[in-house]
Structure 1
Amino acid sequence: MADAPSSSIATRLGWMADKVGKDELRIFGALMWAAWSCGNMYLFEQTLPDATQLAAGYCRLVEEYRDYAKRVFPGGVGSVGCGSNGYWSPPALGWVKVNVDAHVREGVYVELGAVLRDHEGLVKAMAARKTRARWSSEVAETAAAVFGLRIAQEMGYRQVHLETDAMGVATRIKQGCQGYAIHL
């Protein structure tokens, strides 16, 4: 450990990645995530979580995602998938692309996110919302799409290219769009 760099966390993590296996690095990342969450809960919510239980839950979440990603992403964990072409492409001139996504923490909350970019790839807006709700992932993904479209509408955009990884939601939105020129 004496040869570990101390100039930044990034260089230290790079050094660590060369010294340990992928499994150990994943566990370390989950533990860092748990420590960060514990600190935030204490600072912002004045609660003292059970750090051991939280760390175990994060480690389990990382492993569950890894197993899921192996089944879903054709190129394996770390490749881009979910029905996309693997890279972001800009919308046509005069259009704005709205990328949306949702995260469901079952029985606790739902997080919605949206990023709006123009034809040059410049970010025009970013927004996130966390709400206490017990929604299915499909309802949450639909809410994320509505959230992103409302932001675009409030900013005055009428030519919108909506991008979501929820294929069922995209299909239903395509069938029901009125008053907007929307590409999915």
Structure 2
Amino acid sequence: MLDKHTQGDVIIFASLVYSLWHSRNKLIFEDQDIPMQIVIESAMKVLSQFQQANSKLHPLHIQPSVAPVRFWIAPPDGVFKLNTDLAFKDGANWGVGVVVRDHEGFVLGAASWQKQCGAEVRVAEALGLCLGLQFALDMGIIF
């Protein structure tokens, strides 16, 4: 990606994507519609803060001691993989997301919910797993 675009282009793009994601979440979870001009201004503010923070850093020349981590590892052929993720909203509210993929990474199904289950992370993770398993069962996937 960096071979076609400068690092600055990528940083600007990332700040815009972050601001769009943030405004989307405000609309979905808080019913707040943020005007596009405010989203763009927010992206520029994020970009400015990022640049200021990085201007104060001195580059370190440290070589990584381990290989980079892949974020998703495909299951064996004929096996499906269920991934769940949670996001804490406030108080006892959680956003839960699930994705089911095959061995080639093809998405077979995905869903999301907003649930109340208290502020305990382990309880929310267990709820997310239960919802994901139920979703897979509803899709006809047999364990």
Q: TM-score, normalised on structure 1?
A: 0.45
Asked whether the equivalents of residues 103 and 111 of structure 1 are also in contact (C-alpha less than 8 Å), the reply is yes
* Distance across 2 between alignment mates of 1:39 and 1:147: 24
Asked whether the equivalents of residues 92 and 119 of structure 1 are also in contact (C-alpha less than 8 Å), the reply is yes
1:16–1:108: structure 2 CA closer, same or farther, 3 Å change rule? farther
Displacement of 1:40: 6.8
Displacement of 1:108: 6.6
**Aligned-residue CA RMSD (Å):** 4.4
What corresponds to 1:100 in structure 2?
Answer: 84
Q: Of 64, 76, 80, which aligns to 2:69?
A: 80
Structure 1 runs of 4+ aligned residues shifted over 6 Å read: 49-53
* Distance across 1 between alignment mates of 2:106 and 2:24: 34
Percent identity between the two aligned chains = 26
Displacement of 1:38: 3.6
* Distance across 1 between alignment mates of 2:13 and 2:105: 34
Asked whether the equivalents of residues 91 and 97 of structure 1 are also in contact (C-alpha less than 8 Å), the reply is no
**Secondary structure of 1:15's match?**
coil
- Does residue 140 in structure 1 map to residue 140 in structure 2? no
* Distance across 2 between alignment mates of 1:126 and 1:151: 9
Structure 1 runs not aligned, ≥5 long? 1-9, 64-73, 160-184
Structure 2 runs not aligned, ≥5 long? 54-64
1:31–1:89: structure 2 CA closer, same or farther, 3 Å change rule? closer
Displacement of 1:92: 5.0
1:97–1:107: structure 2 CA closer, same or farther, 3 Å change rule? same
Displacement of 1:146: 0.7
Q: TM-score, normalised on structure 2?
A: 0.55
Asked whether the equivalents of residues 103 and 140 of structure 1 are also in contact (C-alpha less than 8 Å), the reply is no
Displacement of 1:99: 1.6
1:15 counterpart letter in structure 2? H
